[in-house]
């Protein structure tokens, strides 16, 4: 495994980037749109700035979707018709992979041979398509997992549904077929090796980035005024998809414990939940509202729909701290975004969050999901302005090290390394899986 991969200096001219189940054009924070959408958008833009053209293939979910949309100069989104436009959830999509693959292959067939130099697939569904497309075109397959079934199943929230065996099988096939696997952290690379037998020569670690033009420190008073928040409030913010995996219920239970221990905080505590239901959370979209009422904290919790990046940056600046009690996170882009705005983060010590958050410096990492432990971790942020100020400044400095330019350069180097060994494409594991 290498953190950045050396090799031939040649970079691809044009790549096919695959995102079957969620479009880079969709609003993060609801449905299946989240950090992966942000990742693809920002990475594609920065790759284009490095003179690597990117064509992103995604499933059309509306009859009004244009066949192609220019996301940015050098970045084209292609909508592929695969199954009905509406009514399909992510779990239904394996049955549509043949149709999606057909759309991808038909697009390439309309160009001269060698139109795409490389395939970069995101998430296992895209990996299944990428495996076949890369083999057909005789080009390398680079894959980014984003999340892994075995890792998620090992840390399920209470009442959440496990990932099905079919996904585990699919991920195993993609790992065996891929030329290179890009992991967000060294821990994720180790999980790929442990759970999916990824080889050291397949693995490369490239940290995701943060858009430092959008997410940057700003005027907290102005942000609170624009969002209708009290100027003297202790604002403990949750931003993300509302589903058991992200554990917003842990935050609510912790707030109930905190207020029971410190009743004087009730007058100034505000807990905004910014996001929409997703995944298994879609089955009970009102469950979090009901939980807040049952816990007797409905007066301090405020629910808000997902927002665009500029508005989200205002939420980060307005917050005293961002809270991420997730059971699993491949990295945690939200944590970087908040820190880039000068806001400390209280996060679960899982996945990539120990890389995104420096414990005791830019925020606090919490082991486990006991509400009492989370209440203890949150209390200093609600009661010690000096600590919030110091950690917020450190957070902004820390996040500044994670620009998307560096992430794109590292990814381009992985591409260059994979192009240096094309002979491996038609031998070994790929033929056994075909």
**What sign for the dihedral angle of Cα 213, 219, 225, 227?**
positive
Residue 246 marked as a ligand binder: yes
Residue 17 marked as a ligand binder: no
Residue 262: closest CA among 363, 387, 383, 345 = 383
What confidence score (pLDDT) does residue 3 get? 46
Residue 99 has pLDDT above 50, yes or no: yes
25 phi/psi in degrees, rounded to 5 = -85, -10
Instruction: Dig out the tokens for 113 from the structure.
Output: 């041979």
In sequence order, the 6+-apart residues with CB closer than 8 A to the CB of 166 are 94
Residue 16 has pLDDT above 50, yes or no: yes
Residue found under tokens 């199954």 = 83
Most confident of 148-152, 162-166, 387-391: 387-391
DSSP 89: -
What confidence score (pLDDT) does residue 279 get? 55
Residue 432 marked as a ligand binder: no
Residue 117 marked as a ligand binder: no
Q: Using CA atoms, how far apart are residues 29 and 35, in angstroms rounded to an integer? A: 8
Residue 37 marked as a ligand binder: yes
Residue 337 marked as a ligand binder: yes
Identify the band that residue 1 occupies on the pLDDT scale cut at 50, 70 and 90. Answer: low
Helix, strand, coil % over all residues of the chain, rounded to 5? 45, 20, 35
Q: Could you report the per-residue pLDDT of 173-196, keeping only the tens digit for each?
A: 999 999 999 999 999 999 999 999
Q: Using CA atoms, how far apart are residues 223 and 262, in angstroms rounded to an integer? A: 27
Three-class secondary structure of residue 220 per DSSP: helix
Task: Taking each helix axis as running N to C, give the angle between helix 186-196 and helix 165-177, from 0 to 180 degrees, rounded to the nearest 10.
Answer: 110
Domain boundaries, the chain: 4-209+404-433, 220-399
What confidence score (pLDDT) does residue 121 get? 98
What confidence score (pLDDT) does residue 27 get? 66
Q: Using CA atoms, how far apart are residues 213 and 172, in angstroms rounded to an integer? A: 38
Residue 314 marked as a ligand binder: no
Residue 185 marked as a ligand binder: no
186 phi/psi in degrees, rounded to 5 = -65, -35
Q: Which of 17-31, 36-50, 162-176, 194-208 has the lowest mean pLDDT?
A: 17-31
Residue 123 marked as a ligand binder: yes
Q: Could you report the per-residue pLDDT of 343-390, keeping only the tens digit for each?
A: 999 999 999 999 999 999 999 999 999 999 999 999 999 999 999 999
The continuous run of DSSP H or E covering 297 comes out as none
What confidence score (pLDDT) does residue 160 get? 83
Fold match between domain 4-209+404-433 and domain 220-399: yes
**Contact yes or no for 232/268 (Cβ under 8 A):** yes
Residue 29 has pLDDT above 80, yes or no: no
**Contact yes or no for 28/239 (Cβ under 8 A):** no
Instruction: Dig out the tokens for 153 from the structure.
Output: 């199943």
Q: What is the mean pLDDT of the chain?
A: 90
Identify the band that residue 40 occupies on the pLDDT scale cut at 50, 70 and 90. Answer: very high
* N-to-C CA span, the chain: 26
Residue 260 marked as a ligand binder: no
Q: Which of 20-29, 144-153, 163-172, 356-365 has the lowest mean pLDDT?
A: 20-29
Domain 220-399, CATH 2.40.10.120 — does that match? no
Residue 420 marked as a ligand binder: no
What confidence score (pLDDT) does residue 429 get? 38
pLDDT average, residue stretch 65-82: 95
**What sign for the dihedral angle of Cα 57, 63, 67, 70?**
negative
DSSP 264: G
Residue 219: closest CA among 229, 209, 211, 210 = 229
What confidence score (pLDDT) does residue 33 get? 63
Residue 421 has pLDDT above 90, yes or no: no
Q: Could you report the per-residue pLDDT of 274-317, keeping only the tens digit for each?
A: 998 765 544 455 889 999 999 999 999 999 999 989 999 999 99
Residue 3 marked as a ligand binder: no
What confidence score (pLDDT) does residue 5 get? 38
Residue 25 has pLDDT above 60, yes or no: yes
**Contact yes or no for 142/179 (Cβ under 8 A):** yes
Residue 351: closest CA among 328, 322, 324 = 328
Residue 316 marked as a ligand binder: yes
**Contact yes or no for 341/280 (Cβ under 8 A):** no
**Contact yes or no for 46/407 (Cβ under 8 A):** yes
Identify the band that residue 64 occupies on the pLDDT scale cut at 50, 70 and 90. Answer: confident
Please give the sequence-ordered ranges of beta strands (E in DSSP) within 179-267, or none if there are none.
180-183, 203-205, 234-239
Residue 422 has pLDDT above 70, yes or no: no
Residue 216 marked as a ligand binder: no
What confidence score (pLDDT) does residue 177 get? 97
What confidence score (pLDDT) does residue 157 get? 82
Beta-ladder partners of 347: 324, 365
pLDDT average, residue stretch 35-40: 88
- Most distant CA pair in the chain: distance in Å? 70
Residue 112 has pLDDT above 50, yes or no: yes
Q: Using CA atoms, how far apart are residues 128 and 97, in angstroms rounded to an integer? A: 8
- The rounded radius of gyration (Å) of the Cα atoms in the chain is 22
Polymer length in residues for the chain? 434
Residue 32 marked as a ligand binder: yes
In sequence order, the 6+-apart residues with CB closer than 8 A to the CB of 284 are none
Identify the CATH class of 4-209+404-433. alpha beta
The continuous run of DSSP H or E covering 339 comes out as helix 333-340
**Contact yes or no for 380/387 (Cβ under 8 A):** yes
Residue 96 marked as a ligand binder: no
DSSP 424: G
pLDDT average, residue stretch 394-415: 96
Residue 290 marked as a ligand binder: no
Residue 381 marked as a ligand binder: no
Provide the 10 A C-beta neighbour count for residue 419: 18
Residue 28 has pLDDT above 80, yes or no: no
């Amino acid at each position: 495994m290498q953190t950045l991969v050396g090799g031939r200096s040649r970079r691809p001219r044009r790549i096919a980037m695959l995102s079957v189940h969620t479009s880079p054009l969709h609003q993060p924070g609801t449905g299946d749109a989240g950090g992966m959408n942000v990742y693809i958008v920002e990475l594609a833009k920065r790759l284009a700035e490095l003179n690597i053209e990117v064509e992103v293939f995604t499933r059309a979910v509306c009859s009004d979707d244009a066949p192609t949309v220019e996301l940015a100069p050098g970045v084209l989104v292609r909508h592929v018709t695969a199954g009905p436009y509406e009514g399909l959830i992510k779990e239904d999509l394996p049955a549509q992979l043949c149709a999606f693959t057909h759309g991808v292959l038909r697009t390439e067939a309309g160009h001269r041979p060698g139109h795409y130099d490389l395939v970069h697939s995101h998430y296992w569904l895209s990996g299944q398509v990428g495996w076949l497309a890369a083999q057909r075109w005789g080009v390398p397959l680079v894959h980014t997992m984003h999340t892994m079934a075995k890792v998620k199943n090992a840390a399920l929230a209470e009442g959440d549904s496990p990932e099905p065996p079919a996904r585990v099988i699919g991920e195993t096939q993609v790992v065996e077929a891929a030329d290179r696997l890009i992991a967000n952290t060294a821990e994720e690379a180790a999980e790929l090796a442990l759970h999916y037998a990824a080889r050291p020569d397949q693995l490369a670690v490239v940290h995701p980035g943060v858009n430092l033009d959008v997410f940057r420190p700003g005027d907290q008073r102005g942000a609170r005024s624009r969002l209708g928040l009290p100027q003297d409030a202790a604002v403990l913010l949750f931003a993300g998809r509302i589903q058991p995996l992200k554990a917003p219920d842990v935050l609510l239970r912790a707030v109930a414990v905190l207020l029971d221990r410190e009743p004087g905080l009730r007058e100034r505590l505000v807990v905004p939940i910014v996001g929409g239901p997703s995944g298994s959370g879609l089955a009970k979209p009102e469950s979090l509202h009901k939980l807040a009422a049952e816990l007797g904290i409905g007066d301090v919790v405020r629910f808000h729909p997902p927002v665009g990046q500029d508005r989200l940056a205002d939420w980060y600046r307005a917050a005293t701290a961002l809270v991420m009690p997730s059971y699993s996170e491949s990295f945690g882009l939200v944590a970087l975004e908040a820190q880039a705005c000068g806001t400390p983060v209280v996060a679960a010590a899982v996945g990539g969050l120990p890389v995104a958050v420096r414990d005791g410096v830019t925020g606090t990492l919490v082991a486990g999901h006991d509400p009492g432990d989370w209440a203890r971790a949150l209390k200093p942020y609600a009661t010690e302005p000096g600590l919030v100020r110091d950690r917020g400044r450190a957070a902004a400095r820390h996040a500044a090290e994670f620009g998307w330019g560096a992430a794109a350069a590292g990814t381009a180097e992985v591409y260059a390394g994979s192009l240096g060994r094309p002979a491996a494409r038609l031998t070994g594991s790929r033929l056994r899986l075909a």
